[in-house]
Chain A
Amino acid sequence: MGIEPGRLHFSWISSAESTKFVDVVNDVTAGVKALGPNKTFLKTEAKVA
């Protein structure tokens, strides 16, 4: 619908894989930070009359 692919991420992480979890979270946050704030799917004050 016009959301950049890098904003959404799915992973399988077992409860035993703590380091994988940390790595994935770091990667995803870095990726999203690189994209910058979402400027489209964002509601500011309602755009009405």
Chain B
Amino acid sequence: MMKVIIINKEEWTKGLERLYDSFRLFGPVKQDEFHNFRQLTKGELPDLKLLNTRLSAKSMVYPQSEKMFEFTLDENRDEHHILKEIRKDYSPQAVIGIRPCDARAFLLVKANFDTPENKDPYWIKSYESNTFIGYACNTPCPTCFCTTAGCGPFHEQGLDLLFVDAGDHYLLKILTQKGENLIIAAGWSSKEHSDDARQEMETLRRAAEEKITARISTDKLKDKKTTELFEALFWEEVAFACINCGTCTYVCPTCWCFDIQDETLGLSGIRMRNWDSCMYPLFTVHGSGHNPRSTKMQRVRQRFMHKLKYYVDKYGDGIQCVGCGRCIRHCPVNIDIRKVCDLMNNFEA
């Protein structure tokens, strides 16, 4: 059985300070009006007075813009026109304060970046360099619906450690060997675990789960006929307000699409990849100029069909959404995936 340990807040801070020696440390930091993840400088502590970060933790593994290769166009050099891999820092990295939804999202994304046939080296190396120290949610938001999206405020999948604020102390659950190693590096005593601590954590978990009232139903999605859902009449109405920005896909922890770009400066250049969005017309435009997804309705439909139908059918692991609610909170025109999911789940041709 997994250990739950108690750490008082003073010990916690001291431990975090010790971690700088063995990890590159990342955590939520508040800038202006919201929190986002960034690397913490030595002595800097993560700001844990947050609901959730504005952007997900996705960029901890998969940055919005990431260099892949460099090259030279200088024909006097032997290696001209050859793509050379760029050296990157994959030394151990620890993300403190990642919410359970964002951690589980990595597992959904993994289904795309790390398969028996295809392995994305950048994503995998970066992912593997991470230790995720999850921060359980005592106060879920009204827009969170994680408990019906295969996740939850104390969900453990994808995490190495899970901690929760219990007033004057933290309760910390050790979930993996990586987590165990981090405890040692932090110098926290892993002895103090007891049934009481486990009980206390259980109580907090139940209380948090009860606070989540937003729900979706996904039970019938896999039995719907793809073609019928595709042709459904509700899409026009669903899509009307959408302005086809990239907000929903960029704030989402599970959206994985990217676009590859070369940039040159004089004779040297780099190849990089940037997050892309199925909401952009450019996403599918062909070299000929033809665009198979030329209308807004088609693009909106693609986003929801991918998350709530194609993914469901292809991976048999639920929907491609962890219920973090970010796309609902930040969509400028209030397109709500919960509503669309219900339309799809209840659809009758």
Contacts and interface: CB of A to CB of B under 8 A. Distances in A.
Chains A and B touch (C-beta atoms under 8 A apart): yes
Contacts of A45: 263, 265, 268, 270
Contacts of B268: 45
Contacts of B65: 46, 48-49
Query: Majority SS of interface residues in chain B?
Result: strand
B265 A48 contact: no
B272 interface: yes
B142 interface: no
Nearest to B274: A48
Contacts of A44: 265
Nearest to A46: B263
Interface in B58-100: 63-67
Nearest to B263: A46
A45 B265 CA distance: 7
Contacts of B263: 45-46
Interface of B: 63-67, 263, 265, 268, 270, 272
B270 A49 contact: no
Interface of A: 43-46, 48-49
Contacts of A49: 63-67
B284 to A, nearest CB: 24
Nearest to A48: B65
Contacts of A46: 65, 67, 263, 270, 272
A34 to B, nearest CB: 26
Given A45-B265, A46-B270, A48-B67, 18 more contacts: A43-B265, A44-B265, A45-B263, A45-B268, A45-B270, A46-B65, A46-B67, A46-B263, A46-B272, A48-B63, A48-B64, A48-B65, A48-B272, A49-B63, A49-B64, A49-B65, A49-B66, A49-B67
B142 to A, nearest CB: 34
B194 to A, nearest CB: 43
Contacts of B67: 46, 48-49
B163 to A, nearest CB: 28
A48 B66 CA distance: 6
6 contacts: A44-B265, A45-B263, A45-B268, A49-B64, A49-B65, A49-B66
B278 to A, nearest CB: 22
Nearest to A43: B265
Contacts of B272: 46, 48
Nearest to B67: A48
Contacts of B265: 43-45
Which 3 residue pairs across A and B have the least CB separation, nearest first? Answer: A48-B65, A49-B63, A49-B66
Contacts of A43: 265
Contacts of B64: 48-49
A46 B64 CA distance: 13
A43 B269 CA distance: 13
A49 B67 CA distance: 6
A36 to B, nearest CB: 20
A45 B64 CA distance: 16
